[in-house]
Structure 1
Amino acid sequence: MGTLVFMDSITHEILIWKHIQTERVDDYKYLLVELLNLGYTILSVTIDGKRGVNSVFKDYPVQMCHFHQKRIIQRYITLHPKLEASQELKKIMTRLKYSDENRFTKALDIWYIKYKSFLDEITIHPDSQKSSYTHKKLVAAYRSIRNNLPYLFTYKNYKKLNLSNTTNLIEGGVFSPLKILIKIHRGLSKSLKLKIVDDYLVSYKKKE
């Protein structure tokens, strides 16, 4: 059980939320429609990388959260990668904030050309005779960056919109205190916990 929250990054106002069992693209669609029906105008959207969510907001400039992108890559290649290819990919990611779309794309292209044969290596599993990429986590890391590349520099391509390149405002400002509050009341029933969440979000909205 969780709560999906939409927040205005300019006014810091919590606009709308929905309690969910699992995070689904349809939940984002629902909240988007609700928000538009309430008369809001959407200038841009910053997302955390949930697969398929970018398509929900295809009519708006979409920014992928840099923090989440780095976390995704870290999950695949670890914090201290041993493979040379992984180490170089990590270096490219450390320059994300200081680069622009053209330079970052060029660096990624050069890396891919250099390690393409390495990435293409296949392992045959004797028991099943099935094959898989030998360095599948590294391949997954590369594909994640490549797939999200169109959304990594929106904040620089649309400077007038003053987009945030992370979701830290809601992660740290809203969710962190809320998680502490829920932990304090962890013995309560689900319905009471949801009421606590609702009360917190309503009061946060008024406070801001």
Structure 2
Amino acid sequence: KSAVIILDTTYFSRTFGVMLFQDASSGKILYRKFVKNETNRDYLDGLRYIAERGTMIKAVVCDGHVGLLQSIHFCPVQMCQFHQFQIVRRLLTNNPHLPAGVELLALMRRMFSMRKEEFITAFDKWCEKWKEFLAERTLLISGKTTYTHRRLRTARRSVKTHLPWLYTCEEHPDIQIPNTTNLLEGFNSQLKRALHNHNGLNEANKKKFIDGLINTKK
């Protein structure tokens, strides 16, 4: 059997989370691991576990851990476009004041319906248009200078860094790769809501409770 795998970790406290590996077409949870924090090694170990049990992994969809994106060589990898949008939105807020920010956020909103070449052309154009503006520096009291528009620069760098993985789904139309991790995010929200209603449980019982819910998705 073969599957496109969606990866994500959801946290129930600062040091207690569950890492899930979901079959993108059936919605089944193929593997889970309780974690204190997510590491690329844990994700890679989980993928190996699934492969060793006879599932051919056709592609992987995950959020933007660059180390993870770079370390999966055995199949195509899609960076969740919604996560990329969220990264930029967090940096620029929902209502950017600067025209450069307004334009970049508008482009990120259109990203979901754009083709790869179309997006790259528009993004390159934006980078060129605001190149000098983003290079502006501010003089600090100490006499040192710093970039004036640091959050915009960080947003630009994030898009540039993740660009190689943002449109993998378009490059492999035969595999039917989702462009977001939304299917798994939906299940994660369900888990959080259910646990919230049982917030008196200790960690061991929380794990049992979570496993019970995961078993309904197997």
TM-score range normalised by the length of the shorter chain: over 0.9
- 25, 30, 50: which one aligns with 1:10: 25
Among 105, 119, 125, which residue is 1:104 paired with? 119
Displacement after TM superposition at 1:131 (Å): 4.2
Higher strand share: 2
CA distance in 2, matches of 1:75, 1:32: 30
CA distance in 1, matches of 2:41, 2:113: 34
Letter in 2 for 1:148: H
More helix by share: 1
Moved over 6 A (4+): none
Percent identity over paired residues? 36
The alignment covers a number of residue pairs equal to 203
1:53 shift after superposition: 1.7
Name the structure 2 match of 1:190: 203
What is residue 120 of structure 1 aligned with on the other side?
A: 135
**Alignment partner of 2:34: what SS?**
strand
Judged with a 3 Å threshold, the aligned counterparts in structure 2 of structure 1 residues 170 and 186 are, in CA distance, closer, same or farther, namely same
| Separation of aligned partners in 2, 1:123 and 1:42 | 49
Deviation at 1:203, TM superposition (A): 2.3
Give the counterpart of 1:180 among 187, 193, 203.
193
For residues 6-155 of structure 1, what are the structure 2 equivalents within 5 Å?
A: 6-127=21-142, 130-155=144-169
The SS at the match of 1:33 is helix
Deviation at 1:177, TM superposition (A): 1.2
Q: Which runs of no fewer than 5 residues in structure 2 stay unpaired?
A: 1-15
- Cα distance in 1 for partners of 2:125, 2:26 equals 41
Give the root-mean-square deviation of aligned CA atoms.
Answer: 1.4
TM-score under structure 1 length normalisation: 0.92
Runs of at least 5 residues in structure 1 that lack an aligned partner in the other structure: none
Offset of residue 130 of structure 1: 5.0
Normalising by structure 2, report the TM-score: 0.88
Tell whether the 8 Å contact from 1:28 to 1:56 is kept in structure 2 after alignment: no
Q: Measure the CA separation in 2 of the matches of 1:19 and 1:188.
A: 16
Deviations 1:4-23 (A, max 9, x none): 00001012111001000011
